[in-house]
Every structure is written in C-alpha cells, then in structure tokens.
Amino acid sequence: MGFKRLALIPVLLFCVLLTACGPREHSRQCFAMDTVMTLTVWGDESIPGELQKLLQNMENDLSVTRPDSLVSRLNAGQELTLSREYGELLRRAQVLEEETGGAFCPWLYPVTKLWGFTTGQYRVPGERELETALASTGQDPMHWEGDTLRLEKGAELDLGAIVKGWAGEQCVSRLKACPEAVAALLSLGGNIQTYGEKPDGSPWRIGVQSPFGEGLAGTLELRGTWAVVTSGGYERYFEENGVRYTHILDPATGRPAQSGLASVTVVCADGLRADALSTALLVMGREKAMALWEAWGDFEAVLIEMDGTVTLTSGLENAFSPAG
C-alpha cells in the first residue's frame, strides 16, 4: 500500500465517524415576545443566534406595548409604508378575520387594552367603556394605497394572537435558505414550530399542556415541518370577586370567550393560520370549530373542553396519545 493510500485512511475514518454522529444539535434559549423561547437547530451552529435576532427584530416592530413599534405608530394614526413581509402579514390577517367570521380579530386592541391583558394592569371594564371600544372594532379599519397603510381613526391593531405563529413561519424560511440546517425544533412560548426530519429518525414528540394545571394532557408525534399552536384561557387570566377573566376575548361581546373550550391546539403547515385559528376556535367553541375543520381541510386540532372532554380531528387520531 503506497503512502497516498495510507494517508487516506484517517480521512475516511473521520468521514465515517461524522456520518455516524449525524448533524450536531445546537440550542439556545432567549426571551422575546414576552416568553422564554428555546431554539434548537441540527447541523448549523450560527442559525440559532440568527433566529434570535430575527425574533427580536419582529418583536421591536410588531409589539403593541412598545411605543416606537410599527404597530404602535399605526395605532397612533401614522401612515406607514410597509416592507413586503409586513404588508403580507397584515393582508393575511385581514383575510383570516373574514374567514373566521370575526372570531379572530386583529384590530381588537381598543378592547384588549381596557382589560389590561397586554400591559398586565388588569381590570374589569364598565359596560359603557366596552360599548365605545366595540364601536371601533366592528369593521376592517385598514386603508391601503399600494404598500402604504393607514388605520381608520380610533382603530388599533393587536397582533398578539398571530405574531408567534408568523415568527415560526419566518424562521422556517430562514432555515430553508441554509442547506446545512437539516432540522429544527423551535419552542416559542405556547407555539411549537418543527422543521424537517429529526436526525435520529424518531418523530417530533410535542407535549400538549393540560389546561387544568401542571402537566400534560397528552403528546403529539409528528414528522416533518409543522406549526403546533395552543391557545387557552389558562395561559393568562386574572380573578376578581371570585370570577376568572381570561385573555382570549370574544370580539362579538368584548368579554372573555366562554365557548366551553379550555384549550385548542392546532396543527397546520402554515404558522400564521395555525396561530389565528387556535385563538378563533377557542372563541367559536367545539361545534363551530369542527364545522370549520370540515370546511377548510387544511388543519388538525385537539379540542379540550372545560369538563375535560378531549376531541381530536381525524388526522390526529394516530398522532395523539393521552397522558397516562
């Protein structure tokens, strides 16, 4: 055996070892959008840091509580020319409001801010205040001229119900542009975004939180790229005189949704749609939610009622295992 062939042996061994080990896992924790996020990416070390920056920029632009965000400036009556991405986000939000019959309402801020759910200064608003606020949330307030947007006077956006789902979707676009990043699991508060196939060949295992306290209601096993988004009153609420007021509001009444559902988990390929839907289905209740699932056919859901009854759409029957 010549020297050249001998020299090849360590190179070959290295390659075999690399293949055996598979792509390395890189994880990072950060705080953004009012929640702890864990970003795990297989195969590329720099991507978790990049995704963190992406998420923080989105928060700066879209937060309703930051006075200098794009959303706050629109809410203050400014006319703004938006980037292609943000223009698309808001136009898709408009369409989803219509498609859900207003159960998801991206311009509900005059009402949500009365309850203090975005600021943490909770209170039960009076009847008159609610009526006045509801008057400015009744119809689509967006006026577009090309990419330039202005809101109707008195109207205010709150994208809290969709921003994390959309963020997951944007992270997937970034991951797709990086061939070394073969898979990812992004935990963005109540939102999970999976990407690709887990390198060890096992499915993604995603816990569905019990809405009744600590622990899980069950586990979902999925393969590939999915948004898994949960909405539930248990995530944010306050109590006054023995009554619990939860943060998901029925845009028809301006009061916390009382649909009989304690939580909704939506699985959908489209992150923004998953997030808008998780909120909308919780407002609609089980029957309307199931009717929407029949009609749309592009999402699956786990519906948990206040009495603990769990309803699965048929696409999840083999994917969901209830907690033992």
What is the contact surface with Mg ion in residues (CB under 5 A)? 161, 231, 275, 278-279
Asked if 63 touches ligand AMP (CB under 6 A), the answer is no
φ, ψ for residue 63 (rounded to 5)? Answer: -65, 135
Work out whether 170 is an interface residue with ligand AMP (CB under 6 A).
no
CA 101 vs CA 133, 280, 284, 295: distances in Å: 19, 9, 10, 13
Tell me the DSSP string of 52-121: HHHHHHHHHHH-SSSTTSHHHHHHTT--EEPPHHHHHHHHHHHHHHHHTTTSS-TT-HHHHHHHTTTTS-
Q: Which residues contact 62 (CB under 8 A, 6 or more apart)?
A: 69, 70, 71, 86, 159, 163
90 binds ligand AMP (CB under 6 A): no
Residues with Cβ within 8 Å of residue 171, at least 6 apart in sequence: 39, 51, 54, 55, 184, 186, 193, 195
Is residue 26 part of the contact set for ligand AMP (CB under 6 A)?
A: no
The reply to whether 157 sits near ligand AMP by the rule CB under 6 A is: no
- The DSSP call for residue 196 is S
Distances in Å between the Cα of 309 and the Cα atoms of 154, 217, 257, 261, 268 are 41, 11, 18, 9, 22
**105 is an interface residue for ligand AMP by CB under 6 A:** yes
Number of Cβ atoms within 10 Å of the Cβ of 177: 9
Interaction of residue 104 with ligand AMP, rule CB under 6 A: yes
Binding partner at 246 among Mg ion, ligand AMP, none, C-beta below 5 to 8 Å by kind = none
Rule CB under 6 A: is residue 117 a binding residue for ligand AMP? Answer: yes
Binding partner of residue 142 among Mg ion, ligand AMP, none, CB cut-off 5 to 8 Å per kind: none
42 binds ligand AMP (CB under 6 A): no
Per CB under 6 A, the list member of 198, 247, 273, 286 interacting with ligand AMP is 247
289 binds, among ligand AMP, Mg ion, none (CB under 5 to 8 A by kind): none
What are residue 264's phi and psi, to 5 degrees? -135, 130
How many residues bind ligand AMP, per CB under 6 A?
A: 20
Scanning residues 271 to 290, which ones bind ligand AMP (CB under 6 A)? 275, 278-279, 283
CB of 314 to ligand AMP, least distance (A): 24
Of the candidate spans 4-12, 71-79, 154-162, 193-201, the one that interacts with ligand AMP by CB under 6 A turns out to be 154-162
Min. distance of Cβ 302 from ligand AMP in angstroms?
15
* Least distance in angstroms from the C-beta of 176 to Mg ion: 23
Smallest distance from the beta carbon of 278 to ligand AMP, in angstroms? Answer: 6
> Of residues 186, 192, 248, 272, which one binds ligand AMP by CB under 6 A?
248
CB 171 within 8 A of CB 186: yes
**Which of 32, 54, 82, 108 is in the footprint of ligand AMP by CB under 6 A?**
108
Handedness of CA 60, 64, 68, 71 (dihedral sign): positive
Q: Which residues bind ligand AMP (CB under 6 A)?
A: 104-105, 108, 112, 117-118, 158, 160-161, 231, 235-236, 247-249, 251, 275, 278-279, 283
